A and B are shown apart, each in its own frame.
Chain A
Amino acid sequence: MNGPRKEFVRVVQVSKRFPGVQALDNVDMVVHKGEVHGLVGENGSGKSTLIKILMGVHQKDSGKIYINGKEVNFKSPLEAQKKGLSAVYQEVMIVPELSVGENFFLGKLPLNRLGFVDWDKVYKESQKTIRDLGLEIDPRRKISNLSFGDRTMIMIAKVVREKANLVIFDEPTSYLTIEETDTLFNLIRLLRDKGLGVIYISHRLEEIFKICDTVSVLRDGQMVGTNPLPDVDENRIVSMMVGRPIDEMYNIRRAEPGEVLLEVKNLTRDPDFRNLSFYLRRGEVLGFYGLIGSGRTEIMRIIFGVEKPDSGEVIIKGKPMKFAHPYQAMAQGIGLVPEDRRFQGLAMSLTVRHNINISSYGEITNLGFIRRKDELSRTEKLVDALNIYTPSIEQLVNNLSGGNQQKVVIAKWFAKNVDVLIMDEPTTGVDVGAKVEIYRFIEGLIQQGKAVIIVSSYLPEVMGLADRILVMAEGDFMGEVRREDADEELLLSMACKVTLNSAAH
């Protein structure tokens, strides 16, 4: 960036209060044209609230917002859109019952001469937008049939179509594959070079360093500072976010592997995966790495009794499992942190307290009656341990920030005593501090002779945590990699089905 940068958006002393929470406290921020502005902060620090205020979704309590030097006061997202602002929200906000094409043209479907919707045009144009991003998605498909990754990409494509001047991304990469992330980054660079402003929110700091020119840090609703990159390093940013340095993220204490706890033999379910066998020993963390859609989630759901396989066996502590219901799997000591917190992990309309205890009420009842004191004390303890940012344990989960919702799902399984804990993308949207807590918890489990399966598309996480990593691609095992041998390129190439001589064992 040469020459004086042109200011585009200026946020001045903006505050916002929700019941019991000061979400934003006199926040200042400036975004320039041709700048990718990173926004980081712990879960609940106010990032999403800030962009929702920018977009007119929420109304600020006080403060001013200027665009191109003129004060604006958006009452709705439509007004913001008209001024050239657009956003990819953290919680995917497209209409799942509609097709991809319809979503692109929402509210402005093109008509033909007879006054009917010109579907040809809808699908042709959306096809082109999708192709331009290097994607292969049929624009006639319903959104609800797409993976989260594809949904995010569709959202991104949609935003690009809208020809905005400022594009906001709120944790866009949570569900993206590495390739899709690269596509996204190239796109962002393209936008920047065209002179657009971009706000980029993420908990993955390496992404911030890769793509952002400037980074702003929020803590407890206050702007702690704005720095050009690479003037600050990762440690500095983390200590600005958390208020203290955090190190040795993935260094968990290993345990000596014991007897086999879980064994899977020739598990098949067409078309998701075929003939898979693996085992898990006490004290082990087994990683499943693969691109999204490679069949990992389906295996876990079968082990947990959510779905049935076509054939094959799951043996837990020497006994074959019946594939019937999750409660039976739980009785055998298996737990599952599901992939999707909003639709599988949380009762959104209930309280934090209720959600944390759902699976483990059996442990705090006398003759079927819940011991209130135990319920409260264990809930308080978990909320503290995971640093769940909430005004009270009686808050509805729906009102928590995304990362804090994820922490509640994790806390639910902290509360339940299981031997094998399967975690499917457990740290989606979780901040560094809480990640460390989750890793400590995993450490605690394996030290007690329990075992953990971790499914993650996030390489540093699998590589750092797992003793052994099983790599999957399109429903097949591409091989097992031991922790010592794991390196990024090897895993990636295996996951992409590229044959390398060194692959497999």
Chain B
Amino acid sequence: MSLNKITKQISGTEKEAENNGRISIFSRFKLTTELTLLVIIVFIFIVMTVVTPNFMTIYNIGNLFKQASVIGIISIAATLVIISGGIDLSVGSLAGLVAMLVSVMISGNYMAKPILPAILITTVAGIVIGIYHGFIIHEIKLPPFIATLGSMIILRGIVKWISQARTIANLPESFTTFAKLSLFNSIPSLVLVWLAAILIIHIVLTRTTFGRNIYVIGSSQEVARLSGIRMRLNIYGIYILAAFLCTIAGILMTSRLSSAIPTGGSGYELTAIASAVIGGASLSGAQGSVIGTMMGTILMVMIVNAGVHLSINPFIMEIVQGALLTVAVVIDMLRQRRS
């Protein structure tokens, strides 16, 4: 068994060498993953436009992108953590919690607050959860998978508890109109926020020391430390930034749905991780990009949307999404074996 391991170790390089022609898609994957995704997305767009009349409508496309915006921002959070070699399973629950907190406060049922303070308080709550993650992962040294799995369940519990498992509706109009705004009557406000997040985090990752450090940490914590990277600062920073992004997503989600449900955001963590991996992020760290993740998100959301228009059983669409995730991880593994 172990001999196989060694031969695999050795022949990994061999495969790479042999398949250079074929695998070169992955070796320059930064650009080509994104290009490949773009081609697939455009292809599905065209096919869908041809086969169903209701797909290429302003209403549907707007809706599709609004939904993609919320998941897209959560996916960026997931991407940051994945690049650092960790994983955050709590992103969906956190967005759900934020949605519920803000709704409870502004709907005036109890803990009533005006909109701005409510948003502020929820943001602080989100950041506190980021700090908590930094703490148990950096100081207590829990593996991120376990740490955030715990949070995922805890936060979901809190959502159900504060909402008493009820849907909170009747949100003030001033809050819900935000999601209905659009630029030049065409680009929805949610999409603008998403684009801003993409731009900012892309710049952070590619142009700042903090961003570069995230990749180094994802490659090897020991090397990062010995290179003089301040681990505490950076690890906390990563999880706080991720939690902050989820907070924004949670607030946008509430504004869009004009309500908060106890299961809001559940399952998003998997969509988010899938989007990141499809977009070129590696579960072993040090690889991934915001642009790739954006494409991954569009693809994931579009497939579900297409399923609806083709009247495919939604359960089957779940299977398709799961399969897509599996394929993405397999591709990631192939990429890893290369190096």
Name A's B-contacting residues (CB within 8 A).
16, 18-19, 52, 57-59, 76-78, 93-95, 98, 102-103, 106-108, 304, 306, 325-327, 330, 336, 338, 343-350, 354, 357-359, 361-362, 365, 368-370, 372, 396, 398-399, 412, 416
Instruction: Determine if B209 and A370 form an interchain contact, defined as CB atoms under 8 angstroms apart.
Output: yes
B224 interfacial contact with A, CB 8 Å:
yes
B4 interfacial contact with A, CB 8 Å:
yes
Given A76-B11, A349-B287, A349-B339, also A338-B226 (CB < 8 A): yes
Bound state CA distance, A362 and B228, in angstroms? 11
Instruction: Point out the residues of chain A lying under 8 angstroms from B7, CB to CB.
Output: 76-78
Query: Distance (Å) between the CB of B32 and the closest chain A CB?
Result: 14
Instruction: Point out the residues of chain B lying under 8 angstroms from A306, CB to CB.
Output: 225-226
Leading 7 A-B pairs by shortest Cβ distance? A107-B3, A347-B219, A330-B228, A361-B209, A327-B228, A349-B286, A358-B227
Q: Which chain B residues (19-33) contact chain A, with CB distance < 8 Å? A: 20, 24, 27
B180 interfacial contact with A, CB 8 Å:
no
Given contacts A77-B10, A103-B2, 13 further A-B contacts (CB under 8 A): A59-B14, A93-B10, A98-B2, A107-B2, A304-B226, A326-B225, A327-B230, A338-B226, A343-B222, A347-B215, A361-B209, A368-B209, A399-B339
What is the predominant secondary structure among interface residues of chain B facing chain A?
Answer: helix
Instruction: Determine if B10 and A354 form an interchain contact, defined as CB atoms under 8 angstroms apart.
Output: no
Given A59-B14, A327-B229, A330-B228, also A344-B222 (CB < 8 A): yes
Instruction: Determine if A345 and B24 form an interchain contact, defined as CB atoms under 8 angstroms apart.
Output: no
Bound state CA distance, A117 and B296, in angstroms? 48
B220 interfacial contact with A, CB 8 Å:
yes
B223 interfacial contact with A, CB 8 Å:
yes
Partner of A106, one of B3, B212, B215, B228: B3
Tier of interface size on chain B: 35 or more
Instruction: Point out the residues of chain B lying under 8 angstroms from A327, CB to CB.
Output: 228-230
Q: Which chain B residues (196-243) contact chain A, with CB distance < 8 Å? A: 207-210, 212, 215-216, 219-220, 222-231
Instruction: Determine if A345 and B223 form an interchain contact, defined as CB atoms under 8 angstroms apart.
Output: yes
B225-267 contact mask (Cβ, 8 Å, vs A): 1 or 0: 1111111000000000000000000000000000000000000
B275-291 contact mask (Cβ, 8 Å, vs A): 1 or 0: 00000000011110000
Bound state CA distance, A359 and B227, in angstroms? 5
Partner of A336, one of B224, B226, B286: B226
B326 interfacial contact with A, CB 8 Å:
no
Query: Distance (Å) between the CB of A19 and the closest chain B CB?
Result: 6
Instruction: Point out the residues of chain A lying under 8 angstroms from B207, CB to CB.
Output: 369-370, 372
Query: Distance (Å) between the CB of A289 and the closest chain B CB?
Result: 23
Bound state CA distance, A358 and B212, in angstroms? 8
Given A19-B20, A347-B219, also A58-B209 (CB < 8 A): no
Bound state CA distance, A361 and B208, in angstroms? 9
What is the predominant secondary structure among interface residues of chain A facing chain B?
Answer: mixed
Instruction: Determine if B11 and A412 form an interchain contact, defined as CB atoms under 8 angstroms apart.
Output: no
Instruction: Determine if B286 and A350 form an interchain contact, defined as CB atoms under 8 angstroms apart.
Output: yes
Q: Report 15 cross-chain contacts, Cβ distance below 8 Å, ordered by A residue.
A: A16-B17, A18-B17, A19-B24, A19-B27, A95-B5, A103-B2, A326-B226, A345-B223, A348-B219, A349-B284, A354-B215, A358-B212, A359-B228, A369-B208, A416-B228
Bound state CA distance, A399 and B5, in angstroms? 20
Query: Distance (Å) between the CB of A240 and the closest chain B CB?
Result: 28
Chain A residue at minimal CB-CB distance from B21 = A19
B319 interfacial contact with A, CB 8 Å:
no
Residue from A57, A326, A349, A416 whose CB has the most chain B CB atoms within 10 Å: A349
Instruction: Determine if B220 and A358 form an interchain contact, defined as CB atoms under 8 angstroms apart.
Output: no
B173 interfacial contact with A, CB 8 Å:
no
Bound state CA distance, A412 and B224, in angstroms? 13
Partner of B223, one of A78, A347, A398: A347
Partner of B17, one of A59, A108, A348, A358: A59
Instruction: Determine if B223 and A344 form an interchain contact, defined as CB atoms under 8 angstroms apart.
Output: yes
Partner of B216, one of A336, A343, A358: A358
Instruction: Determine if B228 and A326 form an interchain contact, defined as CB atoms under 8 angstroms apart.
Output: yes
Query: Distance (Å) between the CB of A344 and the closest chain B CB?
Result: 5
Bound state CA distance, A369 and B6, in angstroms? 43
Instruction: Point out the residues of chain B lying under 8 angstroms from A78, CB to CB.
Output: 3, 7
